[in-house]
Structures are given as structure tokens and as C-alpha cells.
Structure 1
Amino acid sequence: MHWIDWAVLSLFLLYTIWDGTRRGKDAENIEGFLLAGRSMPWWAAGLSIMATQASAITFIGTTGIAYVEDMRFVQVYLAIPFAMILICLFLVPFFSKMKAFTAYEVLEERFGLKTRLTTSGLFLISRGLALGAVIAAPSYVLALLLNLPLTATILIIGLIATIYTMYGGVAGVITTDIKQMAVMMFGLVFCFFIVMANLPEDVGFGDALYLAGSLDKLTALDLNFDLSEKYNVWSGVFAALFLMLSYFGTDQTQVQRYLTTSDTKEAKKSLLLSAYAKVPMQFFILLLGVMLYVFFIFNDAPISFRATDPVAQTEEQMDREQIIEQQYLEARENRQRLAVEAAKNRDMISQQAFLEADADLNTARQKELALQAEIRQADVNDTNYIFPYFILKYIPIGLVGLIVAGIFAAAMSSIDSELNALTTVSIVDWYKRLRPDDPGELHFLKSSRSVTVLWGVIATGSALVLGETRSIIELINQIGSYFYGSILGVFILLLWVKKANGNGALIGLLSGMASVFTFDRLFYNAATHDYSFFFPWSQTPEGYSKAIEFLWLNPLGAFVVVIVGIGVSLIWPRKH
């Protein structure tokens, strides 16, 4: 990057530290530190909810998915409006009435301490695992953008987020989230206009949409019902409903945002902000990824967006490299010419020729990625490097620094919220609840800051040892899907099954987790129509693919928890 971009980025990071830490002086007790004295306005809490979910995932992973695949990922978010309405109707009034600090302390009165600790413990495990990925994944890309060692970018993200979260508490987190959300959205909108401005003069927005549609890149809805398909309307509306209900209704990372508001009405409005805004925002970001694909039809792009330095190459591999590179260059030139003709003529013959040229180019790309994977003896995927390459290559000096700052902002807006939530659960559900004496508010306030540092160190350390993933956003949803459905099942028992007791809730929760991990290992062979379980310690035979994709694990876990919870409660009654 240019020194001007470095200056812009440095100023933004310094401002973030100052802005996040200055609210810390207002925290005189743990309610002030962890819940901002329940005084945050609804719009601030709502923007923090959106910023927490967005992360660098939105910047890098979503655009990459749309570029490589299509826009069907938007279906995951179709359930958000329905989830928010249900949460506003049932969970928000319940939390407000209980004056809860965490989502899990409300479980103790009905189901006992063991259920509360088990559920909150699962949250600590799931969020602890996800937090390392949230730091690590964008750090790999930022290391490329900044030409810095990976360790340096991980430490920058992890330490800055830990510092202002430790001093500023949740008020500092929400304050910085608002600014970070603004920077992130500015960067995305500006990039969209740069993409449009750099298309050829005779290729307008309508032509770009025509070309994208010809390639099926604009496909947003898939009506086919298939449990083995990641994204379709059924998984988006039904399976993802359980994911979103659990994420926004029982995950402390999100629940804590609206617990900071003054009353039930304010909390509901903060959630409804996401209900109205999230799907259009996600659609726009996916459209940006699609438009990037059209942009690179007419502008130079490397055969692989990820710069690779092979550790070894044989003469045979070098020959293959040259052949693939030549095939790619010829296909790129041919595709560009045919794209202009297809946009101009809009007939079946021109369209088919363009599609064949595009297929030839992507065949060359896949050959190159496979060759690099062979050389490196590791998976080589450039999905998360597409958008950063565009930023470095095509964004003007000065604005590069601001957009990179947006990626940092997106990463830190999730990390700070998760650190704060992990601290809250650790202190309220575990340390304060299990401590036999009461040393006073000042002690718990100091302990909260210390635990924030501890979680920051754990998350940063785990990020240093974590590998890359094909798509950042899918990894986070996959981790969550192992836990969310089962945790939601416990809250379903709490709210709607009067006969459920602590024994049923606890055994149901453990049974739900066991069912999720078991059925996640169910594989299907399309050729032989066989179903088989293959666990991590055994190698999955060729020809088998997962029979149930991760979104469906959420309703599965919730269903098992409720059924087992009801059965055990009837067989093994228990009074509290």
C-alpha cells in the first residue's frame, strides 16, 4: 500500500482505540461494564447487532461466494424477519421481565444450576472456537493486502479489539460498532460504484446483469427440496429459521446487544432494525460479488487471485504450468470478445458462445488451483482473495487505506462483541454464581476486565494456529450449527413445555448434541444409493458426500432436545 493508505489505516486504528476506551470511565459496576447500565438507545443496539453478525465475513467471504458460485447464499437470511418477530413476541419480554445479564441465567429457576452451566458452557465452547476463526480468516487476507507477516495482522486485530473491549466495556463496543458499520458500508458502496465505472463504455448496468444472468450468477432462489443441498428456499426459510432463532434469541453475543436497552419496547425496535435491513444488505453484497465477476470479464485478472509460492516444482509441473497459463490467456481474451457480442446481440448463439468461453476459462483456473494444491500438498483456494485483489489493483490511493480499515472494522466489530459476551457468561454464569461469598461490585468489575484479557489472549492464540478455510462465512455458520439447534431446544422447553424439568432439559440437551454430531457424519453415495456413517477418525470413501448439510442440523438438534426432554421429564419427574 501507499504511505497515504498506511496513514489512513493507522489513524483509523488509533481512533478506534480512543473511541472504544473512553466510555470505560462510566462503568462503576458490572451492570455498567457488561450492560452499559441498560441505557443504550435502540438504534445503537440495532446497529451493533448488525455489525456483530457482519464481521469481515461480509466483506470477504460473501463477495467471494457470489463470485465463485451465485447469489443463493441470500436464502440463509430469508428467515431473519420471521425469527426477529418470534423473538420479539416471546423471548424479549421474558428476558426483560427477569432483568437478566445473560441468556442462560433464566434457565436456573426452572431447570436448575446444572442445565444453566451446561448451556452456558456450550456457548463458551462454540463462541471460543468461532472467535479464533473470526480473527484468523481475515488476517490471512490482510497479511496479503498489507504485505505483513500473518502473525502481525492477527496480533493487530486481536490486541486492539481486546484493549478497547477491556477498558470500554459493552458501551465502548457498541460505540465503536456504529462507526465500524458506517466505514464498512461506505467501502462496499464505493467499491460497487468503482466496478460500474470501470466497465466498458458500451457495457451498461443492464448489460452486466444480462451477462451475469446468462452465467446463472443471479440465481437467488432454489425451490428444490434436498437435504444435501446447502442453499435452497427450504433450508433458508425452515432450517435457517432455527439457526437465526437461536443466534439472535439464545446466543449471548446478540442477546447482550438488546439487553443494554432500557425496556422491552426499545429492545424490540433494535431487533426489528436487523429484520428490515439485513436481507437487502446481504443481497447488495452478493450482487457486488456477482458484479466483480462481470468486472473481471473486461479487466485483467490473474489465473489465481491468491499469490502462491510453490515449495517445489518438477520439470513436468513447470510444463503443465505453462500450458495452463496459455490456455487461460487465450480463454480470457476470447471470453471478453464474446461477452461484448453477447451483450450487444442478446441472441442464443452469441450467449452460448460466451458461456463456452467462460467455461474454458474456469476450467483453466481449476487446473491451476489443482496444480498448486499438488505442489503445496495442501488445499489451495482463492475465494477469500478475490475482493482484496480488486481493492489493491483498482481502488485509488488513499481510499485503499479506508477500505482496508473497513475490513479491520468488520473483523473487530464481531470480535469485540464476542469478547464482551464471553466475559459476561464467564463472570455471571460461572464465577459470580459459583463463588460462595460476595466480595463486592468493584471486585467483579476488575474480574470482568481481567477475563476479557484472558479471552482475548485465548482467541488470538488460537487464531495463530488455525488454518485457512474455503469460505469464512460458511465456517462460522457450520460451527454454530453444531450447537445452536440444541441450545434453542432447551429454550423451547422453557417457554412452551410446562411439564419439562431439569432432568429432561439436561438429558435432552446432551442428546441433541449427540444427534447433531452423529448425523453430521452421515454420507450418501449417489451411484449406489447407500447411506453410511463415516466419523473423523475414518477416511470417507470416494463417491460419498454429506447426506445432510449443516443448516438442517439446527432443527434436528432442537427436535431431539424437545422430544427427549419431554420423555425424560415424564419418566423422571423432579421438583425445584
Structure 2
Amino acid sequence: MSTLDWIVLFLTLFSIVIYGTYKTRGSKNLDSYLRGNNSMNWWTIGLSIMATQASAITFLSTPGQAYEDGMRFIQFYFGLPLAMIIISVSFVPIYYKLKVYTAYEYLEQRFDLKTRTLTALLFIVQRGLAAGITIYAPAIILSTLLGWNLTWTNIFIGVLVIVYTVSGGTSAVSITQKQQMAVMMGGMILAGIIVIQLLPISFQEALHVAGKMDRLNVVSFEFDFADRYNIWSGMTAAVFLFLSYFGSDQSQVGRYLSGQTLTQSRMGLIMNGFLKIPMQFIILFIGVMVFVFYQFIQPPVIFNQVQTDKLRQSEYAPQFEALENNYNASFESGKNAYQQMLTAIEAGEDEDAESIKGQIKEIKLEQEELREQAKELILQNDPAAETRDTDYVFMRFVMDYLPKGIVGLLFAVIFSAAMSSSASELNALGSTSTIDLYKRSIKKDASDEHYVRSSKVFTAFWGLGAILFATYASLFENLIQAINLLGSLFYGTILGVFMVGFFMKWVKGRAVFIAALLSQGLILVVHFRNGTGMLGFHWDIGFLWYNAIGCLAVMLFGLILQQIVGGKVAKG
């Protein structure tokens, strides 16, 4: 990057951290530190909720996913407005009525201490692991693109987050997320405008190319349990995920519990429900335009330049050079075919256009085969290398083609997204550890100042743990996908406990506690046997459905177990 880009990057990041730390200094009591004295208005809440969900993976992976698979990922969010309405009507009023610091306090009042503790622990396990992955996943890509040491990249992201999150608590997280969202969306919209301006064809022609190559596939009505992204999973399984995430995950619940009033919190949630889809549409559409750009401007065979540079310096360099020459020739054939297809479309010759489209798809298959051969060479040269390169597509384009200054801004977007998600996670882990475990079961009668200090210690502890996990995360596989999978493994059970609490008043604590354990065991069996099955049964289920299965299992098991084990009359 240029000197200007480095200045833009560091000035943006340090300005956000310093502003958040300065504005929220002096949080002395527990209510101020964990709920921000209920001072947040609805649009601050809405932006904070959106920033919490919009991790760096959103801005790194989503354009690459659109490049490879089109717009169909947008269907994942179709159920979000419905989930926000349900939470606003059912969940939020109860939290406000009970004046809770965390969502899990409600569960003791409704059931018992062991149910509250179990649910809090499930959250801590899931979110504690996710916090490390939230740092590691972008760090591995950013360190590659910037030429930084991976460990120091993890530490850089983690320490920045710890500084303002420990200093100002919930208020610091929410206030900094306003600036982070402005940087993220401003940077992405600017990038989208520049992408369209750089296209070597007209915007209308770009839409023709994207449509013919199935990259504008916004809605799919084909039902398939193994398919994560269609209208059916988006309006059913994803609704359960969103209910779990926004209704019972403290990293999100903490955002709207800081609202000035119940109405302000509800409005913030509804804002998120109706702005998140356009936001994701913009990011996906940018990825589609990058795809069109690379149909007319020569792309690299592999977008991870570090791996290709290593290959060029290895014994496999001649083989890779031959592959590149074949790929370049195939690209020129494809480019000419696209021009012919656009000419046919302009002339209204639909049959010719469809015929040429078939030829282009054959060329694309040939190019993909050459890419696979290049990946095999990379693995032969370095068996531990990561060959999945779609996450590098967008930032490789940014570094190669965007003007100086804008490149630094786009890197600031990625760092800001990593920081915003991590800050909410650490803040939630600190508050849950303090309120649901330490204050409730270990040291019950200390002063407010003591619990503020303990919350800061827990937040810093989880932050350092996340950095440590991220440092050694290369020992694990498929981390980019794991960040989405982790939530689905635990969210269904957590949501099920809350749904029983809200809507099945006759089910008591003992029954729901056992039901939660059975449900969590069921989800783990379903996941680890997915694609193979057991006891004569075979299944292949997309992980989004784990949320629905886990939730419904808790409700069903709770209903049955209540008849068997009974229990004390539920409170409240």
C-alpha cells in the first residue's frame, strides 16, 4: 500500500478507539458500565446491532461468495424482519420489565439457578470460541494481503478492542460502533461506485452478463434440506437462528438493553430488520460487479498472491507457468465470447445469445479445472497451504485497481468490522461472567465498584483468551465456515429454553434443564454424524436447520419430561 493508504488506515482506526475511550471514560457503577445508564437512542441501538452482526467476514467473504455463487445468499436474511418483530413483541418487554443486565437473569426467575447457569455457560462456550475466530478469520487474510506477521495482526486487532471495551463498557461499544458503521458502509458504497466506473462495458451490459451467468439469482424456490440458501431456509430455519441470536445472545441483547425506553429498543431492532437486507444486497452486488469486471479484465489464476509467489519460486514454477498460459488463453476465448453474447443480446437474437452462453459455461468449466490444477500444485509445494481463495477476491481487486487512499479506507473497513464484532462479544462475555456466574454464585454481596472492576477483568481475560486462541487457531480447520457453524450448534438449545419460558408456562425448571441437555446432545450427534447417519438412518442437513431442530427439541422434550419428572411451580 502507499503511504497515503497507511495514513488513512491508522488514522481511521486510532481515531475511533480514542473517541470511544474519551467519550465513555469514568463509568463508575454497574448500571453505567453494563447498560450505559439506558442512554442510547433508537438509531444508535440499530447501528450497534448491525455493526455487531457485520463481522469482518461479512466484508471479506460476502463479495467473494457473490463472485463465485451469485446473490442467493441474500435469502438467508429474508426472515430477519419477522424475527425482529417477534423479539420486539415477545422478548424485549420482559427484559425491560425485569430490569435485567443479561438475558439469562430472566431464566432464574422463570425456572431456577441451574437452568440460568447452564444457558449462560452454553453462551460463554459458544461466544468464547467465536471471539477468537472473529479475530483470527480476518487476521489471516489481512496479514497475507499486508505482509504482516499473523500473530502480530491478531494482537493488533485484539488490543485495540480491549482498550476501549474495558475502559467504557457497553457505552464505548455502542458509541464506537456508530463510527465503525459509517466507515464500513461509506467505504463499501464508495468501492461499489468505483467498481461500476471501472467496468470496461456499460452498466446495462454488466447486468446482462451477470444475469446470463446466474449471478443475479436473488430468489430460489427449490427446496433442499442440504441447501443453506433458498427461500424456504431463509423464512424458516434462519428465523430460528435470528430469534436465537438477537433474542438470547448477550452480545446482541446487551445492545438494546441500553436503550432509553422500551420503544427506543424496539425501534432499533426494527431498524436492523429492515436495513440489514439492503446492506447485504449492496455488498453482494459489489461482488457480482467484481465478477463481471474479471470477465473482461484478466484475473489471476489464484487470488491469494502470497501462495502464487511461493509457487513461482519453487520447483513447480514451470508447471504453474504453463497453467497460467493456458488460463490466459482460455480467458481471451471467454472474453471474446462475452462480446459476441452482448452483441447478440443487443440485436435481439435470443437464441444466439443462449447458444453463446452455453459456450461460455464450457469455457468457465475449463478455467475452473485449471484453477484446481493450480491449487494442487500449491498443496504439493506446501501441504499446509490454504487454497480456498474466494475470500481474497474483493481485497485483491481493491489493492490492484482502486485509487490510493481508498485502498487504506477499505482496509479500515475490514479492521473496523473485526473490532465491532469482537467488542460486542467481549463486552457480552464480561457481563455474563460477572452477572450470571461471579455475582450470582461466587461473590454475592460486593459493592458496585467491585463488580465493575470484575467485569473489566473478565472482559480483558476473554480478550486475551481470544487473542491466544486466534494465535493458535491454525491448528484447526475450516475456520471461515466455523464462525457461522458455531452459533448454530448452540443457539437452538438456548432459544428453546427461552421459548419454553415465554410460551409454555406449565413446564418447570427440572424438566427444561434436562430437555436442554438432551437437545444439546442431539444437535451434536446430528452434526458429527451429518452426511452419514446412524442406526440405519441417513441424513444430510444444512447447519441452519440445527437452530430449528434444537429449539423444537427443547420444547418437545420439556413437554414430555414435565409429565415424567414434574417440578416446582415456575416463578413469574
Q: CA deviation at 1:31?
A: 1.0
Contact kept, 8 Å, 1:221 with 1:232, in 2: the verdict is yes
Q: CA deviation at 1:455?
A: 0.8
The 3-state SS of whatever aligns with 1:25 is: coil
Is 1:568 the counterpart of 2:567 in the alignment?
Answer: no
Mapped to 1, the partners of 2:419 and 2:473 lie a distance apart of 18
Provide the TM-score with structure 1 as the length reference: 0.93
* Aligned match of 2:542: 549
Is 1:478 the counterpart of 2:485 in the alignment?
Answer: yes
Indicate which of 203, 214, 217 corresponds to 1:216: 214
Q: CA deviation at 1:314?
A: 8.3
Q: CA deviation at 1:25?
A: 2.6
Paired AA for residue 157 in structure 2: I
The 3-state SS of whatever aligns with 2:408 is: helix
Unaligned residue ranges in structure 1 (runs of 5+): 525-530, 535-543
The 3-state SS of whatever aligns with 1:380 is: coil
Report the CA distance shift for 1:93/1:549 in structure 2 as closer, same or farther (over 3 A): same
Is 1:101 the counterpart of 2:112 in the alignment?
Answer: no
Contact kept, 8 Å, 2:75 with 2:218, in 1: the verdict is yes
Mapped to 2, the partners of 1:16 and 1:225 lie a distance apart of 44
Report the CA distance shift for 1:184/1:504 in structure 2 as closer, same or farther (over 3 A): same
* Aligned match of 2:262: 264
Q: CA deviation at 1:482?
A: 0.1
Unaligned residue ranges in structure 2 (runs of 5+): 346-352
Contact kept, 8 Å, 1:521 with 1:546, in 2: the verdict is no
* Aligned match of 2:321: 322
1:348-379 superposed Cα distances (whole Å, 9 cap, x missing partner): 23323333222322221122123312332244
Mapped to 1, the partners of 2:63 and 2:101 lie a distance apart of 36
Mapped to 1, the partners of 2:321 and 2:8 lie a distance apart of 40
Contact kept, 8 Å, 1:313 with 1:375, in 2: the verdict is no
Provide the TM-score with structure 2 as the length reference: 0.94
Contact kept, 8 Å, 2:47 with 2:178, in 1: the verdict is yes
* Aligned match of 1:452: 459
1:420-457 superposed Cα distances (whole Å, 9 cap, x missing partner): 01111000001111135422111111111111111110
Q: After the TM superposition, list the runs of 4 or more consecutive aligned residues in structure 1 that deviate by more than 4 angstroms.
A: 309-315, 468-471
Mapped to 2, the partners of 1:470 and 1:447 lie a distance apart of 34
Contact kept, 8 Å, 2:223 with 2:230, in 1: the verdict is yes
Mapped to 2, the partners of 1:312 and 1:146 lie a distance apart of 19
* Aligned match of 2:514: 507
Q: CA deviation at 1:319?
A: 5.0
The aligned runs of 1:156-555 (5 Å cut-off) are: 156-200=156-200, 203-307=201-305, 308=307, 310=310, 317-346=316-345, 347-378=353-384, 379-467=386-474, 472=480, 474-524=481-531, 531-533=532-534, 547-555=540-548
Q: CA deviation at 1:29?
A: 0.5
Contact kept, 8 Å, 1:141 with 1:388, in 2: the verdict is no
The 3-state SS of whatever aligns with 1:228 is: coil
Mapped to 1, the partners of 2:83 and 2:301 lie a distance apart of 41
Mapped to 1, the partners of 2:343 and 2:162 lie a distance apart of 54
Paired AA for residue 532 in structure 1: G
The aligned runs of 1:49-198 (5 Å cut-off) are: 49-198=49-198
* Aligned match of 2:25: 25
1:449-490 superposed Cα distances (whole Å, 9 cap, x missing partner): 111111110001101111386673x43221100001111110
Report the CA distance shift for 1:471/1:278 in structure 2 as closer, same or farther (over 3 A): farther
Mapped to 1, the partners of 2:362 and 2:15 lie a distance apart of 50
Mapped to 2, the partners of 1:146 and 1:314 lie a distance apart of 22
Q: CA deviation at 1:23?
A: 3.0
Report the CA distance shift for 1:313/1:409 in structure 2 as closer, same or farther (over 3 A): closer
Mapped to 1, the partners of 2:449 and 2:320 lie a distance apart of 64
Report the CA distance shift for 1:279/1:482 in structure 2 as closer, same or farther (over 3 A): same
Mapped to 2, the partners of 1:32 and 1:558 lie a distance apart of 33
Of 95-104 and 227-236, deviating more is 227-236
Percent identical pairs in the alignment equals: 39
Report the CA distance shift for 1:198/1:314 in structure 2 as closer, same or farther (over 3 A): closer
Q: CA deviation at 1:47?
A: 0.3
Mapped to 2, the partners of 1:204 and 1:336 lie a distance apart of 15
Q: CA deviation at 1:519?
A: 1.0
Contact kept, 8 Å, 2:102 with 2:253, in 1: the verdict is yes
The 3-state SS of whatever aligns with 2:25 is: helix
Contact kept, 8 Å, 1:331 with 1:361, in 2: the verdict is yes
Mapped to 1, the partners of 2:451 and 2:243 lie a distance apart of 31
Contact kept, 8 Å, 1:520 with 1:546, in 2: the verdict is no
Contact kept, 8 Å, 1:23 with 1:169, in 2: the verdict is no
Paired AA for residue 548 in structure 1: I
Mapped to 2, the partners of 1:26 and 1:261 lie a distance apart of 20
Paired AA for residue 291 in structure 1: M
Contact kept, 8 Å, 1:70 with 1:218, in 2: the verdict is yes
Paired AA for residue 327 in structure 1: N
1:283-318 superposed Cα distances (whole Å, 9 cap, x missing partner): 111111111111111223210001205589986x55
Mapped to 2, the partners of 1:67 and 1:469 lie a distance apart of 23
Mapped to 1, the partners of 2:303 and 2:478 lie a distance apart of 13
Contact kept, 8 Å, 2:311 with 2:378, in 1: the verdict is no
Report the CA distance shift for 1:312/1:401 in structure 2 as closer, same or farther (over 3 A): closer
Paired AA for residue 463 in structure 1: A
Paired AA for residue 281 in structure 2: F
The number of residues matched between the two structures is 557
Mapped to 2, the partners of 1:391 and 1:514 lie a distance apart of 44
